[in-house]
Amino acid sequence: MSNNIYDSEKLLQRVPDFESKFICVNNIQLHYLEGGKGAPLILIPGYPETWWAYHKIMTILAKKYKVIVLEIRGMGESEKPQNGYEKKQMAQDVLSLVNQLELGSIIIAGHDIGAHVAFSFAAQFPESTSKLIILDTPHPDPSMYQLPMLPIPNAPYLYPWWLSFNQVKILPEQLLNGKMNILINWLFDHLLANKTSVSEFDKAVYANAYDSTEAIRSANAWYQAFAQDIDDFKTYPKIKLPVLGIGGSGFYMLQMALPAVASNLELKQVENVGHFLMEENHEIVSHFIENFIGEE
């Protein structure tokens, strides 16, 4: 048994009735948490988080659904291979899990990078998807090429410099290895409206997960795949199954992006929160999700 207080086996003491499990998909091992009974609901976190991003809502949702919180390739306790970080590929990882666990048609939700994977899954495998939930971040599309290289003075948004920084290979690992707590503290400090909603303990969980050369390399690989993700996005058909977009600071991005790619769309805004809406207002996010899924 590990003595690391940030490992899943220790964190699970704070999340009752969930189990930590591993599964081999496409020749790599993925880590996931499972709890509850009912319609299968897969939750996928984003950067710079792990399954712990959902710790405030997973127990609520597990009262009605079979909840699986999946750490994608490169995240947390999942394996960190050298390649395969295109969202199209990572969606195929999810499909392998779904098929091995015999889940049938699933509800899939994702936040940030996880939203990219969830969208790609629904677009590629509609027969395995009953509903799609996008949390605060649309899939990469050609508009990303228009992001400014320099921050625009007085623009009403936070300049996302890390999207460019994470494109660089090798250098980020050299600069950040052993210092990821600095970057993680900065991101939460600037991307939260309520800065106390993510505790020092929460941030330490994430710093522990990302503070190695392998973890930094693989997380940045999610960003380095954006050009291919954009090309793949152009090939996806319009999604016809029910889609829910829940946005905090990213609501207006969802409002601009999702109507063109989803024909059966519902949009919900969480007021007075930043990017990490599951932590800042887990009650309303859980409520929106439950109302959308219903009694399946």
- pLDDT tens string 193-222: 999 999 999 999 999 999 999 999 999 999
Q: Which helix (H) or strand (E) holds 132?
A: strand 129-135
Decide: helix, strand or coil at residue 22. Answer: strand
Amino acid at the residue 222: W
CA–CA distance, 33 with 8 (Å, rounded to integer): 9
Task: Please state the domain extents for the chain.
Answer: 8-293
210: closest CA among 188, 233, 240?
Answer: 188
* pLDDT, tens digit, 9 for 90 and up, residues 31-83: 999 999 999 999 999 999 999 999 999 999 999 999 999 999 999 999 999 99
pLDDT of 3: 65
The CATH number of domain 8-293, selected from 3.40.50.1820, 3.40.1170.60, 3.20.20.220, 3.40.190.10: 3.40.50.1820
* pLDDT, tens digit, 9 for 90 and up, residues 130-188: 999 999 999 999 999 999 989 999 988 899 999 999 999 999 999 999 999 999 999 99
Q: Which helix (H) or strand (E) holds 130?
A: strand 129-135
Pairing of strands 106-111, 265-269: unpaired
Is the pLDDT confidence value at 8 over 60?
A: yes
Structure tokens that stand for 5 in this block: 């207080």
Is the pLDDT confidence value at 102 over 90?
A: yes
Q: Which helix (H) or strand (E) holds 217?
A: helix 213-224
Average pLDDT of the chain is 96
* pLDDT, tens digit, 9 for 90 and up, residues 81-100: 999 999 999 999 999 999 99
123: closest CA among 260, 254, 238?
Answer: 238
174 sits in the region (left: phi over 0; alpha: psi -120 to 50; else beta) called alpha
Decide: helix, strand or coil at residue 268. Answer: strand
Percent of the chain with pLDDT over 70: 99
CA–CA distance, 102 with 40 (Å, rounded to integer): 10
* pLDDT, tens digit, 9 for 90 and up, residues 227-285: 999 999 999 999 999 999 999 999 999 999 999 999 999 999 999 999 999 999 999 99
pLDDT of 295: 75
Sequence-distant (≥ 6) Cβ neighbours of residue 66 within 8 angstroms: 34, 35, 36, 37, 38, 39, 40, 41, 103
pLDDT of 126: 98
Helices and strands (H and E) in the chain: how many: 13, 8
Sequence-distant (≥ 6) Cβ neighbours of residue 67 within 8 angstroms: 18, 33, 34, 35, 36, 41, 43, 58, 61
* pLDDT, tens digit, 9 for 90 and up, residues 179-190: 999 999 999 999
Residues 137, 250 contacting (CB under 8 angstroms):
yes
* pLDDT, tens digit, 9 for 90 and up, residues 108-123: 999 999 999 999 999 9
Global pTM reads 0.97
